[in-house]
Amino acid sequence: MFVPVAIALRFVPALENPTALFVVSCIAIIPLAGWMGRATEHLAEHLGQGVGGLLNATFGNAAELIIALFALSRGLTGVVKASITGSIIGNILLVLGLSFLAGGIKFRKQEFNRVAAGVSATALTLAAIALVIPTVFHQAAAVVPVAQGGWTPGKEQGLSLAIAIVLFLTYVLTLVFTLVTHRELFGADESKVIAAEAGEELTRMEAEEGAHAPWSVGKGVGVLVGATAFVALISEFLVGAIEDARDSLGLTEVFVGVIVVAIIGNAAEHSSAILLAMRNKMDISIGIAVGSSLQIALFVAPLLVFASYLFGTPMDLEFTVPEVIAVVASIIIVEQISSDGESNWIEGLQLLSVYAVLAILFYFLPDIHPPGAAAPANH
């Protein structure tokens, strides 16, 4: 119902209100992203494990990717980069926190595969290191005069592009490993985890239990195309209203990217992880959170760097110091909590507390660089 409201706010002059358009667009994207995920999951059932896994992986963060592409087209690189870090910390703090809390309230103690969780956490650490390197390079090289080989925007972009290529190749080879060369290692349970990375395992379970019949290929394609088209349309509305909404709501560029865009772009996955935790499906729930964060770091971030060159506003991977600290701290906390293979509601509350603290930080953190501009040479 929010889709036609957003269209009216955008095209009816008498109803023009950028702030209302921003809020309504944020709400409208959430169910649209859910429909995209459901259609992807049903198509995956028809196409087999290999193609289905690739389809789930590709469309797992499609809504957020579309929003980011429109933001790039308008030069809002600060919002885009903030949404990358926001998705990483949001998935491993907000999603896991709500999952542990919701599941822990229903079950006194929940268990999950400690080894699998540890491997995922390690992979996420390695991915995060690659995203942290440009910021460390910037901070170290900024004190060296340019004449002596110090930091320059060109070097920053060159470093970021090289890292993006490495991350993207790692993602492609990971898909080859899991879907081609070693697919026998990923049985039924692991294929569910692949689907869960797109936040749609809940749909699969409902179909298996007879909640509704699987969609035909035609219906799946139609829903996917239609939902994607509407997500693109509403994303254009949302991005176009960001500037005015920020001013009227008193929000900074970093807060919009880290908190608002990151949450609405992954809302479908968030709900699936929580509901799965309430059904004591903790391995899959954790797979959603950590798997989505990995996908952001290895696939979405490099793809956005490549796309930025097409828009004529090259984006680097240099983040603000608070963003880097938030990512590193979040990963450390998740590694500690997941090391024992057990979870309860108090651990979920602790993760949510950390996320709340970081959200407060980014709310009060002033804009490091002006809207629509690339990061400056010095912080």
- Kindly report the CA angle at 170 between 165 and 176, in degrees rounded to 5? 130
CA–CA separation, 83 and 300 (whole Å) = 11
pLDDT tens for the 379 residues of the chain, in order: 899 999 999 998 888 898 999 999 989 988 888 888 788 777 877 776 556 655 665 676 788 888 889 989 888 888 899 889 998 898 889 989 999 999 999 898 888 877 777 777 777 888 888 888 888 877 776 666 555 555 677 788 888 999 999 999 988 887 777 667 766 655 444 444 444 444 445 555 554 544 456 788 888 889 988 988 998 899 888 888 888 888 888 888 888 888 888 888 777 667 778 888 888 888 888 877 887 888 888 889 999 999 999 988 889 888 888 888 898 888 888 888 878 888 899 999 999 999 999 999 999 888 654 444 444 444 4
End-to-end CA distance of the chain: 43
Given this model, what pLDDT does residue 51 score? 61
DSSP label at residue 257:
I
Given this model, what pLDDT does residue 148 score? 57
Question: Rounded to the nearest 10 degrees, what angle do helices 188-196 and 201-208 cross at?
Answer: 130
CA–CA separation, 362 and 82 (whole Å) = 10
Q: What is the largest CA-CA distance in the chain?
A: 69
Given this model, what pLDDT does residue 198 score? 40
Given this model, what pLDDT does residue 349 score? 93
Given this model, what pLDDT does residue 119 score? 73
The pTM assigned to this predicted structure is 0.80
Domains of the chain: 2-364 (1.20.1420.30)
DSSP label at residue 156:
H
Given this model, what pLDDT does residue 357 score? 93
Contact 231, 46 (CB under 8 A): no
- 213-248 exposure pattern, b = at least 16 Cβ within 10 A, e = fewer: ebbeeeebeebbeebbebbbbbbbbbbbbbbebbee
